[in-house]
Structure 1
Amino acid sequence: MPVTLTTTLPDEDQPVLGNGVEDEVAVDRESATTNNGSVRIQIRETGQSAWNSSATGFAEFIGAFDTLTMEFVGREDGEEYEVRARTETQYRTGDWTEPVAIVTQFPGLTTLVATATDPTTVSLSWEDLADNEAGFTIDRRRQYDTGWSRWQEIATLDPNTESYPAPAAPDATVEYRVTSYTPYTSVSQTASTTTPAIGLA
């Protein structure tokens, strides 16, 4: 009488994640732990309670057992994601790995320009490169004979903003720092200018 046996299925090793390409999370298994079946890899935004389509940022990849690398694309900028994986065959399912987290690349902002439009106003403009910032902060400092003052936050702005009329002192060299941020990361740029003196009437 034939005897049927099912061989053991090794569990998956914890994957290595990469964020070298904007909007992507790269997954590297480094080596295949099995010689049969498939590997299932899942991703979601960190903090979600489920591993299914109800979770924000959820996606799933199923590939052959010897698939070593893959990418989850279409991710949000500067967001934290977690990834888990397991091995599978028709007859057995391995345990899920402990989730591994990574923050996606965050382009933030670029080309910050500070232009003194009158003695007490500096026009700030920049290009918003991110698609997921929580907002912007504006900091200012002034140059004195003894050096620069400390940074002082003067404004917080909504996402997708690309300009701000910043207050300034007349006849002063001032520097502004604009920071684009998410809960997990941030990018800043600085620009300086000198305001004109107030003319006599």
Structure 2
Amino acid sequence: MSVNVIFNKCINKDPQKMAIVEELSFESLQYLPNYYLKHKVLKQLFKHFNTIDNTIHAVAGEVEITTEKIGKAFGLKYTGTTYPDKVTTKGLSEEDERIFKFFQGKSQHALKELIFNTLIDSDANRDKFKRSFLLYIKKCFFLPTSAPNVTPRALPTIFDLQNTRKKNWALHIHNFLLEEIEKAKENNASSVSGCCFALMVIYFHETHFGKNSQDAEAQPPWI
């Protein structure tokens, strides 16, 4: 999994960058496993997931997917407000418009290069690293799509850096996942965007430990 790579090859080796990630409250993402979700498993989770009751109905059991569970699974905040779905240059300050144009349409590879190569030697570069990291995490994990570049929906993240740790990231993931699954089912698609890894973690966690066991309520992250 590409998130694991940037932690192992960059962030974990740079105390300054790790300190920023901890400041953003995303240090738990370093525990994501270094593998991709197999298409066969993904297809089964997607097939048995009902967006009306937010539940996976499968042979091993019925597992409800909630915002709180997504938060606990990944060690993310699951209360508070989320980011808006889109942002435009209209009404932005000259500086914010410059930032918007710099990051708009950035590819996953370009964001990874910024994460690796940005030196933490000034406030401006600290903010550049934060924005690059946030967009990369969204592109690869929170709001993944088949498109090679950052989607417009990810861009509101880059402006309000002061309140990043206060945002409801689990709801952000949950809303996008539900929308993408509903869209895929309507179009009879064979694949789906969104953080389907969340479905797998929650499903196997609950079917293994049980909903009411002490282990199931252990401290996050479940990963």
TM-score (norm 1): 0.23
Query: Which one has the largest radius of gyration?
Result: 1
More strand by share: 1
Higher relative contact order structure (alpha carbons within 8 Å, sequence separation ≥ 6): 2
TM-score (norm 2): 0.21
